[in-house]
Amino acid sequence: LKPPARAAARPPLQPRLAVAPLVCGMAPWGLDLVPWLRRLQGSAFGRRGSALVRSRAFRWASGTATLGCVAWEVVEHFAAMHEEHGMAELCFGLPQEVRKARREKEARFRALLEQARQRQAAGGVPADTLEAHRLLYPGLSPEELRTRRQEHGAVKWTEKALQVAVAMSPLLEVGAGRGQWQKALTERGANVLAYDDMSSPTVRLGLIGQVNRGNEEVVRRHADRALLLVYPNPGPMARKCLENYAGDALVYVGEGRGGVNGDDAFFDLLSAEWRLVN
């Protein structure tokens, strides 16, 4: 992603609502309509129509329709803006059905944890950890999951994703974990300076790549490098990195708004200050 700092400023959002008064008597072909309109206004039909226009129900319906038109213009403008930048998936976030499925899975997982706690408190049989694993990772065995995390870290890469990141070298990675991405990118020719605050329990298993101790504050010193964020935690770390970054290139690997990476403030910054280039 690139910040559009050098691009022309986008004009403020202006909802459009056109009101065109009908003045038939001013048109050349409408000169004879004025007397007719006056007679119509005095007729019973005209009086009923006038009363309808002045009624509360008509004013309420008219106001609702007007607000609806304005709201639709706003939504259409916002959607077009993000479609133009190719950032709809990031800024609008995960589909509602995906979020719903995750909430249901989380509820089932919490129920399993509560059942395990109750059995342990009652001195019963140990909890079936395999049941929880199948719920969270239905397509992977425990051994496959351990192998994948050992090789790739929090998220598995594709060769295409690595090549995109390599093209942005030199890179500054924050939240690098054990350094799997740093190692893979370096092996493909990238210059990667990686940092992690070493707070994750997985770091205690030993580093795989070259990772230095540091947090989002180190970003201030490396405006000359593209910022690389790989599957950042759901807290404020990603947002703080972006706020501290004075460079002009971000490589982000993760889910959109509402997912497991970053917070709403992070995606607000992406939406307002960055454009997608690849």
The count of domains in the chain is 3
- For residue 114, the model assigns a pLDDT of 75
Same domain, 175 and 127: no
My answer on whether 168 and 220 are in the same domain is yes
Alpha-helix residue ranges (DSSP H) falling in 86-226: 88-92, 96-121, 129-136, 142-152, 159-167, 180-187
What is the per-residue pLDDT for 7?
Answer: 44
Average pLDDT over residues 97-106: 71
Q: How do residues 111-130 score in pLDDT, each as one tens digit? A: 767 777 777 777 766 656 77
Helix (H, G, I), strand (E, B) or coil at 77: helix
17 found inside a domain: no
Residue 253 lies in a domain: yes
pTM for the full model?
0.62
Pair (163, 106) in one structural domain: no
- Residue 50's pLDDT band (boundaries 50, 70, 90)? low
Within-domain flag for 197:
yes
Cβ(241)–Cβ(247) below 8 Å: no
- 41-45, 62-66, 173-177, 215-219: least confidently modelled range: 62-66
- Residue 11 counted as domain residue: no
Give the SS3 label for residue 123.
coil
**Mean pLDDT, all residues of the chain:** 74
Q: Are residues 209 and 242 in the same domain?
A: yes
**Does any domain span residue 20?**
no
Residues 162 and 268 in one domain: yes
pLDDT tens for residues 140-149?
Answer: 777 877 777 7
The arithmetic mean of pLDDT across residues 159-176, rounded, is: 95
* Higher-scoring residue by pLDDT: 94, 240: 240
- pLDDT, position 41: 58
Residue 159 three-state SS: helix
Whether residues 259 and 228 fall in one domain = yes
pLDDT of residue 52: 58
**24, pLDDT greater than 50:** no
pLDDT, tens digit, for every residue of 71-81?
445 445 444 44
pLDDT of residue 211: 97
Residue 91 has pLDDT above 80, yes or no: no
Q: What is the CB neighbour count within 10 angstroms for residue 200?
A: 14
pLDDT of 230 over the 70 cut: yes
Q: Average pLDDT for residues 157-174, to the nearest whole number?
A: 95
Same-domain check for residues 76 and 126: no
Domain assignment present for 249: yes
69 or 204: which carries more pLDDT confidence?
204
- Edge to edge, the sheet with strand 192-196 lists 211-213, 192-196, 171-174, 226-230, 250-253
Backbone angles phi, psi at 142, to 5 degrees: -55, -40
Same domain, 162 and 231: yes
Domain shared by 161 and 69, yes or no: no
Q: Report whether pLDDT(28) > 60.
A: no
- pLDDT exceeds cutoff 90 at 210: yes
* pLDDT > 70 fraction of the chain, expressed in percent and rounded: 60
Instruction: Identify whether 268 is part of a domain.
Output: yes
- Cα 33 from Cα 26, distance rounded (Å): 10
**Are 41 and 69 part of one and the same domain?**
yes
Residues 159 and 199 placed together within one structural domain of the fold: yes
Do 219 and 247 fall into the same domain? yes
CATH of the domain at 254: 3.40.50
Q: Residue 53: what pLDDT?
A: 53
Question: What percentage of the chain has pLDDT greater than the value 90?
Answer: 36
Residue 172 lies in a domain: yes
State which residues form the domain around 134. Answer: 96-139
